[in-house]
């Protein structure tokens, strides 16, 4: 079996090594420009179109991340790139939910316990004890209750917050008050102190973090965007911060990545910027999941994690 690999900037040898442990008979090759030889499976992150276009023998594409927006954008530009019967799979958690839990918990606690304000006070050698708040009356919302959002929501429940979650379909997540669909969106948002975004970027969710959403939150709320930069309307965020409707934002993802040096977010004390690191792809867990799926596909069994191309995630 031939496995084609492409992930710019990654040490491909680690992937080769992990794959050899699990699928010892597979031939692993790193894609190079001009390589148009057949392959059974493609393991890719943001591949060039020529890697996939007309590739003979392809049985499946594995996206080496949870978000498939970049891959689907390629397919939209070049609909014949992939034969319609070739399934595309995303990573389902594969070591990312633990990282997301850490990021979200830090961002929520930083706001809830006023650690951001204490950091500013320290710069002025200012010793002022701010009022304490009760977790039980500090509602936190998680947008997206998939592989990552559901775990984040449950971790926030464990920290004592009343947690709401929002998805497209009706969900059950223990301890979380779940809302579904557009018609329940406003009720989900009403009075949230923090909203954490873990939606996929699709035509329906593009620009969802906008002025209308911010206006539904509690005054002085915080926005945590750890999904995609395309979810956020940047001008609306700055306006909501200036108006005091929001007190801050934790942003890991941006419309332009890397965030340009002259972008106002870099120097805005109300905004925490991280360079798209909320959850990194972990080699061993990802290869473990992919190898398991390849074995099932080879046996003709049903396999989870398949992307619905029409839905966009």
Spatial neighbors of 41 by CB under 8 A, at least 6 apart, are 1, 2, 3, 4, 58, 59, 60, 61, 62, 294
- Output 98 or 117, the one with its CB closest to ligand NAP: 98
Spatial neighbors of 6 by CB under 8 A, at least 6 apart, are 30, 31, 42, 43, 44, 45, 47, 48, 51
Give least dist CB 82 to ligand NAP, A. Answer: 19
66 contacts ligand GLV (rule: CB under 6 A): yes
What is the radius of gyration, based on Cα positions, of the chain?
21
Give least dist CB 87 to ligand NAP, A. Answer: 15
Considering only residues 47, 65, 141, 229, which one is a binding residue for ligand GLV as defined by CB under 6 A? 65
Which residue, chain included where needed, has tokens 């993802």?
253
198 contacts ligand NAP (rule: CB under 6 A): yes
Residue 113 buriedness (CB in 10 A; 0-12 / 13-18 / 19+): middle
Identify whether the C-beta of residue 248 lies closer than 8 Å to the C-beta of residue 222: yes
229 contacts ligand NAP (rule: CB under 6 A): no
Give least dist CB 102 to ligand GLV, A. Answer: 15
Considering only residues 39, 88, 148, 232, which one is a binding residue for ligand NAP as defined by CB under 6 A? 148
Which among 276, 280, 293, 301 is annotated as catalytic? 276
Site mask for ligand GLV (CB under 6 A), range 263-292, x = bound: ------------------x-----------
- Catalytic positions, please? 228, 276
- Site residues, ligand GLV (CB under 6 A): 65-67, 281
């Amino acid at each position: 079996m031939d496995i084609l690999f492409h992930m710019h900037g990654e040490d491909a040898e680690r992937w080769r090594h992990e794959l050899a442990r699990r699928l010892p008979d597979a031939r692993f090759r790193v894609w190079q420009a001009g390589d148009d030889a057949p392959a059974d499976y493609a393991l890719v992150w943001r591949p060039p179109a020529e890697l996939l276009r007309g590739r003979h023998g392809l049985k499946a594409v594995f996206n080496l991340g949870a978000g498939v927006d970049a891959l689907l954008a390629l397919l939209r530009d070049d609909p014949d790139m992939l034969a319609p019967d070739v399934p595309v799979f995303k990573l389902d958690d594969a070591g990312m939910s633990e990282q997301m839990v850490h990021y979200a918990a830090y961002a929520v606690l930083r706001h809830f316990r006023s650690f951001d304000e204490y950091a500013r006070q320290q710069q002025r050698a200012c010793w002022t004890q701010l009022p304490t708040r009760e977790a039980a009356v500090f509602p936190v919302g998680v947008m997206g209750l998939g592989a990552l959002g559901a775990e984040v929501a449950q971790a926030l429940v464990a920290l004592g917050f009343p947690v709401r979650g929002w998805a497209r379909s009706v969900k059950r997540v223990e301890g979380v008050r779940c809302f579904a669909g557009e018609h329940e969106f406003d009720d989900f948002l009403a009075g949230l102190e923090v909203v954490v975004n873990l939606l996929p970027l699709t035509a329906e969710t593009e620009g969802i973090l906008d002025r209308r959403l911010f206006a539904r939150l509690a005054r002085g709320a915080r926005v945590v965007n750890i999904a995609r930069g395309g979810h956020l309307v940047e001008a609306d965020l700055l306006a909501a911060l200036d108006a005091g409707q929001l007190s801050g934002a934790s942003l890991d993802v941006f419309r332009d990545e890397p965030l340009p040096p002259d972008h106002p977010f870099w120097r805005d004390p109300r905004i925490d910027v991280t360079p798209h690191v909320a959850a990194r792809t972990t080699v061993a867990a990802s290869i473990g999941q992919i190898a398991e799926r390849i074995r099932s596909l080879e046996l003709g069994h049903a396999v989870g994690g398949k992307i619905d191309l029409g839905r966009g995630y």
